[in-house]
Amino acid sequence: MNFHPKYIVENDKVQAVIIQMDEWQKIQEQLEMLEDLEAYDKAKKESSEIISFDQAVKEIRNNEL
């Protein structure tokens, strides 16, 4: 990814960064993918029982989850 940030500087300190909207959207997409991967990794590490789809639906409907 190539980004072209513009920096807002006050008193020799960067106070803000401005980027193009399409660049921001790419960053958001990458962050969402990273969050999905982290959630997947976390779920794989947790030990949990495997239930059937029908049982899951039944539990969701009964607010048992």
Domain-by-domain residue ranges, the chain? 6-61
Using DSSP's 3-state secondary structure scheme, residue 4 falls into coil
Task: State the Cα torsion 39-44-48-54 to the nearest 10°.
Answer: 70
3-62 pLDDT, tens digit each: 899 999 999 999 999 999 999 999 999 999 999 999 888 888 876 778 889 988 888 888
Residue with tokens 């949990």: 48
pTM of the model: 0.58
